[in-house]
Structure 1
Amino acid sequence: MTLRSRSAGVSLMVLAFVACPAFAQEVRTVSALESGWRFLDGDVAGAVAPDFADAAWEQVEVPHTWNRVGFYRHDMGGANTEANVRKRQGVGWYRLRFSPAPVRPGDRSWLEFDAASRTAQVWLNGTYLGEHRGGFSRFRLDATAVLRAGAENVLVVRVDNTQPAAGAPTADVLPLTGDFFVHGGLYRPVRLVTTAPLHIDMTDHGGAGIRAATVSASTGSARVKVAVRVANDGRGSTRAIARVALFDRDGREVAAARVPATVASGKVAEVEAELSVAAPHLWQGTKDPYLHDLVTEVLDKDGKVVDRISQPFGIRTMTFDPERGFVLNGQPYRLKGVGYHQDRDGKGWAISRADVAEDVATIREMGANTIRLTHYQHGQDIHDLADRAGIVVWDEIPLVSAWTLGGKLDPDPALVANARQQLTELVRQNQNHAATAIWSIANEVDFGNSMPIFLTADAQGRVADPMALLKELDGLAKALDPSRPTALATCCEGNRQAPGTQIPITATAADLGGANRYFGWYYGKPSELGAHLDKLRAGRPDQPLSLTEYGAGGGLTIHTDNVLGGPADSRGFAQPEEYESWVHEQTLPQLDARPWLYATWLWNSFDFATRIRTEGDAQDINTKGLVAYDHKTRKDAWYFYKANWNVEPMVHITAKRYKERAYPVTEVKVYSNTASTELLLNGRSLGTKSDCPAKVCVWNAVALDDGANALVARGTHAGGQVEDRAEWALAPETRRHMVIDAGTLVAGKGAGRILGSDNWFEGGSTATLDQPADFGKPGKPAEIVGTQERDALATYRTGTFSYRVPVADGRYKVTLWFATASAQKPGTFEVRNGRKTLLRKFQPAIPASGAVAEARAFTVRAKGTLALDFVPGSGDARVSMIEIERLR
């Protein structure tokens, strides 16, 4: 059990064990330093002095960060706003006055920080204790000599999350760059730990001082190897015993070993023990995440227990095979999951264990069984919860995209040392977790000279070769933990590149391959992914391969009537929620058809903060999450995976947030994993569908009613029925007069009316008069005179194409709009309505400068379908907007 008391910002935890009477003796104490902190957002002189006046500083609790980054331009999915964001990176100061309880003579006191970003310098009572460089891992400092037990102490911490640059104080601290924001502060817990002079080592790179690994396991028996580091901070050499035992959930001892050691004063002795377990209960992933308690004790020469640590431990074996994929306890086990960043709206990185538990519950409800912890070391909470939930974990260090600064071709020795340090801390702090399966040594260091020159190349275009550093880190990981494979994620091998682009092949630097590929988003079509993976596999048939990132952005308030109506804008506004879903719908069947992939991780579980994006309906947010930045608002794509990955019966009507409809006829898409699904509109059945491909049921050409449209999807399964509902609206004026914004995925804003995105077309291609957006830079809209619908007329469909628009029988006024820029080459084309030619040898006016809009109107008759054919003449046909108005 855990005993707690609070005084002056200290939460005291005395570790004791009541499940097993033999382990009831109290040993080390852990005091959480949570409240009572003072914080200064900026730099200051003299703050290390114990009597420094800090009364005017902000009062905070730890975990804490001063950064709030990323906001939506709407009121769904987040509390951050343009007014309350805090993006400053630099120095921050923390001060805490606390009074720890008295200690026994000879006891040792340690300050333990679960993370401080990105560098931290620590003083206690005016004495400098040390520095840690790296914002993601636990570190400890020996405070014994200066701690005043039973009296007031002053703890001072200076942190610095300055963006690395040549000459900056953080130039040798990874990550140097990355598409995520590095928050500052003491954003994970801080503690005071007290141990006896003879104890389990506290200086093992932030780890427990215990290393346990399953050597072999079956239903009949298992062998677990345990190494214990016994430290002696007493005055003389002493004898000790390390006792290691495994207990099942009922507190029964299933294996134990005792190993003697002689430890010299001021030294650490490492001893090894092997536990033999008969008929073990194995850790079986999400099917049965069974955990034992691994209890490690140190006994002094008199047989007294002087230190003890209890850790959950899962007995399991994991292997990776190029044909069978991931193998858990001898059986193929397909890993399907998500990437994960640790920030959330309103809190940044200063999240609680409850926040992480909520995230894990959301991920598990979706049906995922693995998480890629990107692009840095994550905290103990996510590892502990993954152990308990049976979620297999990919762990990664923050070697992201760049490893040199200032155009250097070789990394500085200090940066190499920092990479080695962060990898060592990652392994030592997480290698006892059953969930941890992979050590990733890098992410996307294979851009070569395709990256901007300020990131990876010198003035002559020469590119730093990452292989020497990767091979060094691969060797280090294997030396630290031979039981797990190494991996890295690549971006660019095998992708189409510009002429002269050189892409290094880095996948061979690690045991496992991982590919970050964004077909249908940054390049290509979603349907091209499968063949690309086949090609990568053919190049290295003996290396297991995974898909480590894939996906697309999706805005909660951005919608489309046709996902093929125009290009998505990965760096700009056109990121409709429906397009994100479509990319995942196209991708998942390709992955299911390739069981040799040992894992797939979609990008990303949740929207997250960055500092280089102005896109979708957000600022400084990567919109590829399946859940919004508030970690609560679920996008349609989340339900697509739940339908495919979670066997619990469910139905979900998509596009619920697209309430005000632009067209009277539309498709309705429902994600359903039930045996049959019926769709009802305002109480009328629109039919039942069964065995829908990839759990996607589609009702085409659904005619909406004027006004309110209540949709109900009703799924029938063996145990009963499940339902989902949506409310859409169709304005009568929209039925009478609809407007097609040609050549676009997302319709422009109309002047007092709703426009629909491009729809009901065949053939042609799309183009725009606007200058496209880039990372962090908004697009530049063209000025178009002669129209109030600039946004709509900026895009157009061109080439040879036709429209077949579903309409009621009757007479219609059709108005065709054309916007033309001064750079347009002359050329004529025709527009036909069946046998009737509406425009013959037509060429829109070409202005001397800028762009101009013009319209041509016609009266036509239609019976069920209104047909428009655009036929090139001396030039390609084109149209920017189509108005269709019913005549009475």
Structure 2
Amino acid sequence: MPATFKKILSFFLLVLIFICVKAQDKSRKVISINQNWHFAKDIHKKGNKQLKYTTVNIPHTWNAFDVLDDEPGYYRGVGYYKKKLNLQPTWKGKKIYLNFGAANQETEVYLNGKKIGSHMGGYTGFTVALDGLKFNGTDEIVVRVDNSYNESIPPLTGDFTFFGGLYRNVSLTVVNQAHFADQTYGTNGVYVHADKVSNESATLNVNTNWVNTSSFANEILVTTTLIDAKSNKVGESKWLSSKNPSININILLPKIEVKNPILWSPENPYLYQAITKLIDYQTGKVLDEVKTNLGFRYFSFDADKGFFLNGKSVKLIGASRHQDFAKMGNAVPAALQVKDVVLLKEMGGNFLRVAHYPQDQAVLDACDRLGILTSVEIPIVNEITETQAFTNNCKAMQLEMIKQNYNHTSVIIWAYMNEVLLKMRYGKEPERKKVYLKSIENLAQQLEELTRKTDPTRYTMMSNHGDVNGYMNAGLTKIPMIVGWNLYPGWYGGKSTDIGPNMDKIHALIPNKPMMITEYGADVDHRIHAENPIRFDKSLAYGMEYHQIYIKDILKRPFIAGAAVWNLSDFSSETRSETMPGINNKGLLTLDRQPKNTYFLYKAHFNKNPYLKIGDGSWKLRGGITPKQELTVISNLDSVELIVNGRLQGKKGVTDRVVSWEIDFKSGKNEIEAIAYQNGKVFKDRSTIDFILQPQAFLNSSASLNILLGSQRQFLDDQNQLWLPSKPYEQNSWGHIGGEPFKIKNSSRQLYGSDKNIIGTQNDPIYQTQSVGLDAYELAVPKGKYEVTLHFAELMGNGIQSVLPYNLDSLVAEGKEVPPQRIFDVYLNGKQIIKELNLAAKYGIARSVERKFECIVADDKGIKLIFKSVTGKPVLNALQVRKIN
């Protein structure tokens, strides 16, 4: 028997006896220190000693609310965090690390006034060793975080908010002097991956980095034990050091061979666990222990046939995800982060594009556990800086991303650039532009080579916008293993039905490269509804039509390996205006994670369980001038029966997961029931919808009649008031006389209205449409006393936004003409109530103006507003009329 084997055998006998007679202390302690930090913004750059601190808990961002106000921009600067450490005397002689989940984006760490570490980049974790602790209650940590623009740190720009702060968990790790660690990349130093996986066998590779800071003299045994989900031992690997081991050691343990592994998949996300220990060979004491969950799976991408997992064809369907939440910014507790993955799984998704930056470890832990395949990317977005410092930071981010997420079974793709030609520099300098494009290509090639060298087990990807020829000519489609395309036909330009033919053309141009649609989507403001939806009206109905077309065309093309909706949820984008300023509304969920009908549509398509949902979404309060309106049911069953207020509306077949009825709503509450059958089982969904029939509801209550001018959509405001689109006046009814809907000149994207941020209101859609050149407005109301409220906003002039900052398909002309001066008078039932109103001069551009008046109707002529021009054309954005008792 070899001497080494005898030594190992005798050691294990010793360990067995030791375990029987004495319980061991836990070798590695991780302690959260999220509570009771002190924080201050350094708005005057005075340094942390002169600042006034407030108590906060981590996660924390200083931008949770200023990104949503009407003032352009948000605080990008320095913030200080400080905390006294409560250190236990038993930790003396241990090694203690301070762990940051992330801090955006430049961080310096001080212990007792001395700088002990720093980090650049806002989306990966990092670790700082705490050396020189006093253990007398005076130890203080100060963390300086700066989210200012830095041309050396990506992202430089992006359609998302760069929140500042300590926005992920902070903890202490307490270990023995000999322990696992890879401080360079902020990990615990244990890296596992499955190799040569098949249905019959697999190999587990374990690579360990460990540190011996006390010059530990005894031999050290490193072991990994693989156990299954029932804690049964599957295999084991061991390595024994010599005496007086080195201070820093990297060891690849002998491979563990596994027979007949249970394969991990979205349908069966089976996880094994590798328990890796660092053991004092002489005493049997466990010096450190790390537990790593892992799954066995094998996968491949094919340019013509798509994605294969464990030998089976699988269409990757899911969404991209940003990490912020309503009223929290990006400082979101782990439980809410995990809930996003749960919602994606419940939708039937099997893929998450972690975009545009690495996210909380809790997200990928949930993906491993729930069976969601993922890609993860670093935040090189829109453009680059042509410096070595920028390149070095990109490489450091890529390495940190790979190392920190290496053990996640769910990760199948590493990515590193998104729409990098979107903000093209040197457009008027052709020769300089060539140099810039070459710099991008060189950076991409370096990141590609770095990624393949660091982790050859996964694929690489770049995501490009719709300028296909631009990316091909720049050589960027040749570099990654997979090409992702962010395509928005039917939104920023073109028609939704263009998506299929466009993908066919791209595949013909690049036939040998696997590809995915990494972004597609349409804004859906959950407060806006339209009976006749059109592009850019932000309505739920348009979003439904858009996604139905995309889903159908994606599923019918095998060469599209997968697709990720942009986005799983609405997210903060401070530079956007639109109907909800500061928010990108392309999510299937709202910013506070309430599902929209589009989410239900995906659930009907991809969740394999029988599904039936009345498509009211946020439209449980609706109205109109007639009781007839369409009601939609979303289902994956063959046919559905609908009952409204106890009356059967008939049975209809489901097409593309949707079926609709035109029904007669009654004024007030309507009880809706949908019923479907499958294999002898009954499936039901119920809903209650309040319907406001105008003008009857207005005449019979104290509620107001709320009317949008120049609009074709309904809107539900923050007071739960329903606004209806105006109509031409009809006798004995209400409506406008003259005028035409406001439309931005030279805009190819909006048929009416503006997306300009309206200052002074949270209900921007009330003011973003208007009637121009209005002659009059009449309402046939009975005798009585009324309050009339007029809403105005000047939509033309300096500051009018006629082009989106992120227009991914084509250029849109920007209207810069200065309009003629607009001055007008307003009369209410013959009495002048407004004289020479000049909105631009008095209030400025795109600012909400509300004027209230009372009037008494003493005859049968109702209410009549007259608009008379002094100069230019009168306008009216919205109107409210309320009867006063």
Give the equivalent residue in structure 2 for 1:689. Answer: 652
Q: Structure 1 residues 143 and 86, CA, compared in 2 at 3 Å: closer, same or farther?
A: farther
Larger mean CA deviation between 305-314 and 97-106 belongs to 97-106
Q: Structure 1 residues 757 and 437, CA, compared in 2 at 3 Å: closer, same or farther?
A: farther
Matched, 1:424 2:420: no
Of 499, 520, 524, the residue aligned with 1:554 is 524
Q: Deviations over 1:57-76 (max 9, x none)?
A: 111111111211488xxxxx
Q: Deviations over 1:521-555 (max 9, x none)?
A: 10111111011111111122221111111110011
CA contact (8 A) 2:715 2:723 kept: no
Q: Deviations over 1:149-191 (max 9, x none)?
A: 35431000000011x2xxxxx3211111111111111111111
Matched, 1:358 2:339: yes
Of 155, 158, 172, the residue aligned with 1:178 is 158
Give the equivalent residue in structure 2 for 1:114. Answer: 101
Query: How many Å apart are 1:289 and its aligned residue?
Result: 0.7
Matched, 1:625 2:567: no
Query: How many Å apart are 1:596 and its aligned residue?
Result: 2.6
Residue 524 of structure 2 aligns to which amino acid in structure 1?
Answer: G
Of 635, 639, 645, the residue aligned with 2:606 is 645
Q: Deviations over 1:224-273 (max 9, x none)?
A: 11211122222377643321121112221101111234575443333333
Q: CA RMSD in A?
A: 4.0
Residue 648 of structure 2 aligns to which amino acid in structure 1?
Answer: S
Query: How many Å apart are 1:716 and its aligned residue?
Result: 2.3
Q: Structure 1 residues 109 and 705, CA, compared in 2 at 3 Å: closer, same or farther?
A: closer
Matched, 1:32 2:28: no
Give the equivalent residue in structure 2 for 1:636. Answer: 597
Alpha-carbon distance between aligned partners in 2 of 1:380 and 1:628, rounded to the nearest angstrom: 23
Alpha-carbon distance between aligned partners in 2 of 1:530 and 1:70, rounded to the nearest angstrom: 41
Alignment of 1:558-577 (within 5 A): 558-564=528-534, 567-568=535-536, 574-577=537-540
Unaligned runs of 5+ in 1: 1-16, 72-79, 165-169, 405-410, 569-573, 759-765, 796-820, 824-846, 855-879, 881-888
CA contact (8 A) 1:448 1:504 kept: no
Unaligned runs of 5+ in 2: 1-15, 700-704, 729-739, 748-752, 759-767, 779-789, 796-818, 822-868, 878-885
Residue 200 of structure 2 aligns to which amino acid in structure 1?
Answer: G
Alpha-carbon distance between aligned partners in 2 of 1:742 and 1:503, rounded to the nearest angstrom: 47
Give the equivalent residue in structure 1 for 2:462. Answer: 488
Larger mean CA deviation between 638-647 and 713-722 belongs to 713-722
Q: Structure 1 residues 712 and 461, CA, compared in 2 at 3 Å: closer, same or farther?
A: farther
Alpha-carbon distance between aligned partners in 1 of 2:460 and 2:378, rounded to the nearest angstrom: 11
Alpha-carbon distance between aligned partners in 1 of 2:426 and 2:776, rounded to the nearest angstrom: 39
CA contact (8 A) 1:517 1:550 kept: yes
Give the equivalent residue in structure 2 for 1:273. Answer: 254
Query: How many Å apart are 1:82 and its aligned residue?
Result: 6.6
TM-score of the aligned structures, taking structure 1 as reference length: 0.76
Alpha-carbon distance between aligned partners in 2 of 1:61 and 1:782, rounded to the nearest angstrom: 49
Alignment of 1:369-448 (within 5 A): 369-404=350-385, 411-447=386-422
Alpha-carbon distance between aligned partners in 1 of 2:665 and 2:513, rounded to the nearest angstrom: 53
Of 545, 549, 569, the residue aligned with 1:606 is 569
Residue 713 of structure 2 aligns to which amino acid in structure 1?
Answer: V
Q: Deviations over 1:355-403 (max 9, x none)?
A: 1122222211111111111001101100111110011111010111111
Of 97, 101, 105, the residue aligned with 2:84 is 97
Alpha-carbon distance between aligned partners in 1 of 2:433 and 2:305, rounded to the nearest angstrom: 45
Give the equivalent residue in structure 2 for 1:722. Answer: 684
Alpha-carbon distance between aligned partners in 2 of 1:780 and 1:504, rounded to the nearest angstrom: 42
CA contact (8 A) 1:782 1:851 kept: no
Matched, 1:507 2:477: yes
Q: Structure 1 residues 710 and 791, CA, compared in 2 at 3 Å: closer, same or farther?
A: farther
Query: How many Å apart are 1:108 and its aligned residue?
Result: 1.8
CA contact (8 A) 2:45 2:78 kept: no
Residue 672 of structure 1 aligns to which amino acid in structure 2?
Answer: S
CA contact (8 A) 2:298 2:309 kept: yes
CA contact (8 A) 2:382 2:423 kept: no
Alpha-carbon distance between aligned partners in 2 of 1:198 and 1:853, rounded to the nearest angstrom: 76
Residue 365 of structure 1 aligns to which amino acid in structure 2?
Answer: E
Of 526, 530, 543, the residue aligned with 2:513 is 543
Query: How many Å apart are 1:490 and its aligned residue?
Result: 0.6
Alpha-carbon distance between aligned partners in 1 of 2:188 and 2:649, rounded to the nearest angstrom: 61
Query: How many Å apart are 1:106 and its aligned residue?
Result: 4.7
CA contact (8 A) 1:734 1:754 kept: no
Matched, 1:520 2:501: no
Matched, 1:478 2:471: no
Q: Deviations over 1:723-755 (max 9, x none)?
A: 232414252647999999999653699999843
Identity %, equivalent residues: 27
Matched, 1:241 2:241: no
Q: Structure 1 residues 644 and 752, CA, compared in 2 at 3 Å: closer, same or farther?
A: closer
Q: Structure 1 residues 775 and 224, CA, compared in 2 at 3 Å: closer, same or farther?
A: farther
Alignment of 1:78-93 (within 5 A): 87-93=74-80
Query: How many Å apart are 1:668 and its aligned residue?
Result: 2.4
Q: Structure 1 residues 95 and 559, CA, compared in 2 at 3 Å: closer, same or farther?
A: same
Alpha-carbon distance between aligned partners in 2 of 1:65 and 1:752, rounded to the nearest angstrom: 35
Give the equivalent residue in structure 1 for 2:861. Answer: none
Alpha-carbon distance between aligned partners in 2 of 1:550 and 1:526, rounded to the nearest angstrom: 10
Give the equivalent residue in structure 1 for 2:133. Answer: 147
Alpha-carbon distance between aligned partners in 1 of 2:870 and 2:334, rounded to the nearest angstrom: 63
CA contact (8 A) 1:662 1:756 kept: no
Q: Structure 1 residues 26 and 511, CA, compared in 2 at 3 Å: closer, same or farther?
A: same
Query: How many Å apart are 1:197 and its aligned residue?
Result: 2.2
- Secondary structure at the aligned position of 2:529 is classed as coil
Give the equivalent residue in structure 1 for 2:110. Answer: 123
- Secondary structure at the aligned position of 1:351 is classed as coil
Q: Structure 1 residues 105 and 735, CA, compared in 2 at 3 Å: closer, same or farther?
A: closer
Of 602, 618, 622, the residue aligned with 1:659 is 622
Matched, 1:585 2:555: no
Give the equivalent residue in structure 2 for 1:65. Answer: 61
Between the two proteins, the alignment pairs up a number of residues equal to 740
Q: Deviations over 1:851-877 (max 9, x none)?
A: 4799xxxxxxxxxxxxxxxxxxxxxxx
Alpha-carbon distance between aligned partners in 2 of 1:199 and 1:357, rounded to the nearest angstrom: 30
- Secondary structure at the aligned position of 2:27 is classed as coil
- Secondary structure at the aligned position of 2:89 is classed as coil
Residue 246 of structure 1 aligns to which amino acid in structure 2?
Answer: L
Alpha-carbon distance between aligned partners in 1 of 2:549 and 2:770, rounded to the nearest angstrom: 32
Residue 384 of structure 1 aligns to which amino acid in structure 2?
Answer: D
- Secondary structure at the aligned position of 1:120 is classed as strand
Alignment of 1:754-765 (within 5 A): 754-755=724-725
Q: Deviations over 1:461-517 (max 9, x none)?
A: 98544211111101111111010010011102348x9xxx99745222210011111
CA contact (8 A) 1:210 1:229 kept: yes
Query: How many Å apart are 1:658 and its aligned residue?
Result: 5.3
Residue 257 of structure 1 aligns to which amino acid in structure 2?
Answer: S
Residue 95 of structure 1 aligns to which amino acid in structure 2?
Answer: K
Alpha-carbon distance between aligned partners in 2 of 1:748 and 1:257, rounded to the nearest angstrom: 64
Q: Deviations over 1:638-670 (max 9, x none)?
A: 111111111222322224345113444333221
Alpha-carbon distance between aligned partners in 2 of 1:318 and 1:577, rounded to the nearest angstrom: 37
Alpha-carbon distance between aligned partners in 2 of 1:430 and 1:680, rounded to the nearest angstrom: 51
CA contact (8 A) 1:663 1:734 kept: no
Give the equivalent residue in structure 2 for 1:808. Answer: none
Q: Structure 1 residues 452 and 752, CA, compared in 2 at 3 Å: closer, same or farther?
A: farther
Give the equivalent residue in structure 1 for 2:442. Answer: 468
CA contact (8 A) 2:204 2:256 kept: yes
TM-score of the aligned structures, taking structure 2 as reference length: 0.76
CA contact (8 A) 1:822 1:851 kept: no
Of 191, 203, 220, the residue aligned with 2:183 is 203
Q: Deviations over 1:790-815 (max 9, x none)?
A: 999x99xxxxxxxxxxxxxxxxxxxx
Of 713, 722, 747, the residue aligned with 1:746 is 713
Residue 330 of structure 1 aligns to which amino acid in structure 2?
Answer: G
Q: Deviations over 1:10-39 (max 9, x none)?
A: xxxxxxx9xx99996521222221212111
CA contact (8 A) 2:121 2:397 kept: yes
Q: Deviations over 1:327-357 (max 9, x none)?
A: 1122122211011111001211111121112
- Secondary structure at the aligned position of 2:557 is classed as coil
Residue 483 of structure 1 aligns to which amino acid in structure 2?
Answer: T
Q: Structure 1 residues 585 and 327, CA, compared in 2 at 3 Å: closer, same or farther?
A: same
Alpha-carbon distance between aligned partners in 2 of 1:744 and 1:505, rounded to the nearest angstrom: 46
